[in-house]
């Protein structure tokens, strides 16, 4: 790892050593990561990944960590945090290209307030643009699949290529990237229409108020824990199972929304995972429903 630190210093790539992962995920959980690296641009990212691969080092890519359940044990590898590729380029009246590290909320708010319509749903979703494409993040019957025209990616063999929407296999909370590990999203080009700014901003305000009333956003969480099964929203199912407010350690199934687990007091990753197991077991035993996590459970080798 000493050689790697020297490589980062020589190439002026920002990094921190022995960082608590609590600071890099919205659940505020996790052990210590040996190194967290935040490349400033595509050139240094490619150099970094080339070095990591040539030297067979371990790495894991994150955005804002708003969909991740880090484990409690320490990670002796490299966290590559993509939050600096954040420029916005207006290609024409409808197409906007943005770096994958930009905050999705910031991008959505910037474009909505300029009168672009179609991205209103994203103003409430934390995370980066890259994380949102990977997850096919969505809300209010829309998702990234509706608005992404194409993406630029770094392939596992370090080529930069462009993939069009139809190649990205967008479905409910999933995309091409969840079945093809090792691809890094560098930018996404979004296709939007022009609308009435006042109507757009009123809609965003209204939804934001409804979210605040129905979701426990005042606590650390990673949004919805489970994908909605076919016949019933996961939150309603969990409420019907009588599991709302259930506490294990420092984690709780939210009283406000059954599909949120919140960190109420120094929760461990294991507290959250125990609650997830409990919900899955009850859903299977009492309703014969196989719940599937939307959040990504991370395990270090
Ligand atoms: C309060 C709250 C509310 C939420 N509401 C919603 C909602 O309404 N709808 C919804 O869909 N989600 C919601 N989420 C979940 C979360 O915000 C989204 O899944 C988000 O898109 C994750 O982005 P991220 O940058 O944080 O990704 P991370 O959590 O950091 O990473 C998620 C995955 O994406 C991969 N990844 C990240 N960046 C890249 C990249 N550039 N290239 C390749 N892979 C990458 C990571 O390796 C990881 O596998 C919510 C979360 C919270 C905390």
Q: CATH number, domain at 194?
A: 3.30.465.10
Over residues 163-191, the mean pLDDT reads: 97
> Is residue 207 domain-resident?
no
pLDDT in tens, 85-131: 999 999 999 999 999 999 999 999 999 999 999 999 999 999 999 99
Domain of 102 in residue numbering reads as: 88-200
In angstroms, what is the span from residue 282 Cα to ligand 1's centroid?
27
Looking from the CA of residue 61, the nearest atom of ligand 1 is 47
Residues 224, 251, single domain; the answer is yes
Pair 195, 175: CB distance under 8 Å: no
Over residues 183-206, the mean pLDDT reads: 97
Q: Write down the catalytic residue from 224, 254, 269, 282.
A: 224
pLDDT at 186: 98
Q: How far is CA 40 from CA 47, 87, 188, 220, in A?
A: 11, 11, 17, 27
Residues 107, 177, single domain; the answer is yes
Residues 222, 261, single domain; the answer is yes
> Is residue 209 domain-resident?
no
Residues 130, 169, single domain; the answer is yes
Residues 54, 111, single domain; the answer is no
Looking from the CA of residue 60, the nearest atom of ligand 1 is 47
Residues 185, 259, single domain; the answer is no
Q: Write down the catalytic residue from 173, 187, 254, 282.
A: 173
159 pLDDT more than 90: yes
CATH number at residue 22: 3.30.43.10
> Is residue 63 domain-resident?
yes
Residues 114, 64, single domain; the answer is no
CATH number at residue 222: 3.90.78.10
pLDDT at 155: 98
Looking from the CA of residue 138, the nearest atom of ligand 1 is 11
Asked about 181 being catalytic, the answer comes back as no
Residues 112, 129, single domain; the answer is yes
In angstroms, what is the span from residue 127 Cα to ligand 1's centroid?
5
Domain closes at, from 54, 81, 108: 81
Residues 134, 150, single domain; the answer is yes
Q: How many domains does the chain have?
A: 3
100, two tokens: 């994958």
Asked about 214 being catalytic, the answer comes back as no
Pair 220, 263: CB distance under 8 Å: yes
Asked about 294 being catalytic, the answer comes back as yes
pLDDT at 286: 97
> Is residue 144 domain-resident?
yes
Residues 149, 232, single domain; the answer is no
> Is residue 206 domain-resident?
no
* DSSP3 helix / strand / coil % (the chain, rounded to 5): 35, 25, 40
In angstroms, what is the span from residue 286 Cα to ligand 1's centroid?
31
Domain closes at, from 81, 99, 114: 81
Residues 21, 69, single domain; the answer is yes
Domain closes at, from 144, 168, 200: 200
> Is residue 229 domain-resident?
yes
138 pLDDT more than 90: yes
Measured CA to CA, the distance from residue 274 to residue 284 in angstroms comes to: 15
Q: Give the residues surrounding ligand 1 with Cβ less than 6 Å away.
A: 26, 61-68, 82, 100, 125-128, 130-132, 134-135, 137-139, 177, 184-185, 217, 221-223, 296
In angstroms, what is the span from residue 106 Cα to ligand 1's centroid?
14
Q: Where are the beta strands (DSSP E) in 203-242?
A: none
pLDDT at 301: 82
> Is residue 211 domain-resident?
no
pLDDT in tens, 41-88: 999 999 999 999 999 999 999 999 999 999 999 999 999 999 999 999
Residues 221, 256, single domain; the answer is yes
> Is residue 153 domain-resident?
yes
pLDDT at 237: 98
In angstroms, what is the span from residue 65 Cα to ligand 1's centroid?
6
Residue from 62, 121, 298, 299 whose mutation best tests the ligand 1 pocket (most atoms within 8 A of CB): 62
pLDDT in tens, 246-295: 999 999 999 999 999 999 999 999 999 999 999 999 999 999 999 999 99
Measured CA to CA, the distance from residue 148 to residue 11 in angstroms comes to: 33
């Amino acid at each position: 790892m000493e050689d790697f630190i020297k490589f980062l210093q020589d190439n002026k790539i920002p990094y921190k050593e022995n960082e608590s992962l609590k600071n890099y995920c919205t659940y505020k959980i996790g052990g210590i990561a040996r190194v967290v690296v935040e490349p400033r641009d595509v050139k240094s990212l490619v150099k970094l990944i080339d070095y990591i691969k040539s030297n067979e080092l371990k790495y894991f890519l994150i955005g804002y960590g708003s969909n991740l359940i880090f484990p409690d044990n320490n990670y002796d590898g490299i966290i590559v945090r993509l939050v600096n590729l954040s420029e916005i380029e207006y290609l024409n009246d409808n197409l906007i290209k943005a770096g994958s590290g930009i905050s999705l909320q910031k991008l959505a708010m910037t474009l909505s307030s300029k009168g672009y319509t179609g991205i209103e749903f994203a103003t409430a979703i934390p995370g980066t643009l890259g994380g949102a494409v990977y997850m096919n993040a969505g809300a209010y019957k829309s998702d990234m699949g509706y608005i992404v025209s194409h993406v630029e990616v770094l392939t596992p063999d370090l080529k930069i290529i462009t993939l069009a929407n139809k190649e990205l296999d967008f479905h409910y909370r999933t995309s091409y990237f969840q079945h093809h590990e090792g691809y890094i999203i560098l930018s996404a080009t979004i296709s939007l229409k022009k609308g009435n700014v006042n109507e757009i901003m009123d809609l965003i305000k209204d939804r934001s108020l409804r979210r605040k009333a129905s979701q426990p956003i005042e606590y650390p969480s990673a949004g919805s824990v489970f994908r909605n099964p076919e016949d019933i929203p996961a939150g309603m199912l969990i409420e019907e199972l009588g599991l709302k407010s259930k506490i294990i350690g420092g984690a709780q199934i939210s009283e406000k929304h059954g599909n949120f687990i919140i960190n109420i007091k120094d929760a461990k990753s294991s507290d959250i995972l125990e609650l997830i197991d409990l919900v899955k077991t009850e859903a299977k035993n009492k309703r014969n429903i196989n719940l599937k996590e939307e959040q990504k459970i991370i395990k270090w080798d």
